[in-house]
Amino acid sequence: MAEPLRILGCTDFSPAGDRALRRAALLAAQTGAALHLLHVLPPGEVMERLLPAAGTDGLRAHADRGLQERAQRFTAELGVTATCELRQGRAHQEILRAIEGVGAHLAVLGAQGERAALMPPSTIGGSVFEVVERARVAILLVRREAGGDYAQVLACAKGVASDRAVLAWADRLSPGELIQVVSAYDVPYARRLTEWGATDAAIDAYAARERDRRAQHVGEVLDGLGIPAARARQHIERGEAVKTILMSAARWQADLVVVARRAYAAFLVEGPFGSVAREVAVLAPMDVLVVPPVS
């Protein structure tokens, strides 16, 4: 991420979408990033069935004005200059194309869109799921009003290569603030191993070795990124990952959680074998940044 950051802010003009745009603009102001605003119009066949030709043109003009007005407001309030783009088609497909087209490093979306009022809080819009599952860049899912810079950031380390990107993003989006780094681990198949004769001492010894490995790994990643120890507080905790992350986020009143999506696993997988990133993104009441797996 040495090159200048490029941020894509996406909106459907719902309150959730506008929260995402404002967060994108704040991040652009904070980091000096280039800001690109996007709205995706419904597919042409849908508009043609439901609207006369004049209505279609009017909708496009209305959407263009909406984006331009928001861009002008961000310039006036934050000193940020944004470019605007309208696309047409299925939302997730056009967002992914726009990410590639502008060379975005980060895309910012509302966790819930225009149907937010009809959805339970612990859920994510369908188009958002599709984007996060397929994107090759970090995706920020916004739930809260963007009143200022992120002040309480929780970075989730897993003891794997993607931890470097997780910690780098946490550092970049919260410059100067304390980063809480949580790494939850457990002994795989512990119950069955106990049933098959493994002693508690043997299981605890395995857990201790894993804890030491995680602590060493996180320390090495922080050193490699040049993040001083005073800025990153490590919490290597034994327990189920999602529960540990959510409890930690609540304990430290995090306003942003950074987590990596698992490699070679669909973000949409349901059940106990699903991605930790998926569960955190759905259940966390604060903003969540999902980092793609290392290719």
Domain segments of the chain as ranges? 6-142, 153-291
User: Of 192, 284, 291, 179, whose CA–CA distance to 241 is shortest?
Assistant: 284
Q: How many CA atoms lie within 13 A of 70 on its CB side?
A: 31
User: Of 2, 25, 30, 7, whose CA–CA distance to 103 is shortest?
Assistant: 7
- pLDDT tens for 77-117 read 999 999 999 999 999 999 999 999 999 999 999 997 655 55
Q: Where does the pLDDT of residue 198 fall: very low under 50, low under 70, confident under 90, or very high at 90 and above?
A: confident
Domain at 153-291: CATH code: 3.40.50.620
Structure confidence at residue 273 (pLDDT):
32
CA distance 166 to 154: 10
| Residue 226 burial class via C-beta count within 10 angstroms: exposed 0-12, middle 13-18, buried 19 and up | exposed
**CATH assignment of 6-142, given 1.10.357.10, 3.40.50.620, 1.10.1040.10, 3.40.30.10?**
3.40.50.620
- pLDDT tens for 203-215 read 888 889 999 999 9
- pLDDT tens for 36-45 read 999 998 886 6
Is the pLDDT higher at 174 or at 136? 136
What sign does the CA torsion over 125, 84, 169, 144 have? negative
CA distance 132 to 110: 12
Determine which of 51-55, 95-99, 161-165, 280-284 has the lowest per-residue pLDDT on average. Answer: 51-55
Q: pLDDT at residue 140 above 80?
A: yes
Q: Do domains 6-142 and 153-291 have the same CATH topology?
A: yes
- Highest-confidence segment of 51-65, 195-209, 276-290: 276-290
Residue-averaged pLDDT of the chain: 87
Structure confidence at residue 57 (pLDDT):
74
**Mean pLDDT (whole number) for 47-53:** 60
CA distance 244 to 242: 5
CA distance 265 to 272: 13
Q: Cβ contacts of residue 96 below 8 Å, gap of 6+? A: 131, 134, 135
Query: What pTM was estimated for this model as a whole?
Result: 0.90
CA distance 261 to 11: 23
Bridge partners for 233 per DSSP: 180
Structure confidence at residue 17 (pLDDT):
92
3-state secondary structure the chain: CCCCCEEEEECCCCHHHHHHHHHHHHHHHHHCCEEEEEEEECCHHHHHHHCCHHHHHHHHHHHHHHHHHHHHHHHHHHCCCEEEEEEECCHHHHHHHHHHHHCCCEEEEECCCCCHHHCCCCCCCHHHHHHHHHCCCEEEEECCCCCCCCCCEEEECCCCCCHHHHHHHHHHHCCCCCEEEEEEECCCCHHHHHHCCCCHHHHHHHHHHHHHHHHHHHHHHHHHHCCCHHHEEEEEEECCHHHHHHHHHHHCCCCEEEEECCCCCCCCCCHHHCCHHHHHHHHCCCEEEEECCCC
- pLDDT tens for 243-295 read 999 999 999 999 999 999 986 555 544 443 348 999 999 999 999 999 998 87
How do beta strands 287-291 and 138-142 pair? antiparallel
Tokens of 9: 């802010």
Structure confidence at residue 262 (pLDDT):
80
Tokens of 24: 């994108």
CB 14 within 8 A of CB 70: no
Residues of the chain above pLDDT 90, percent: 67
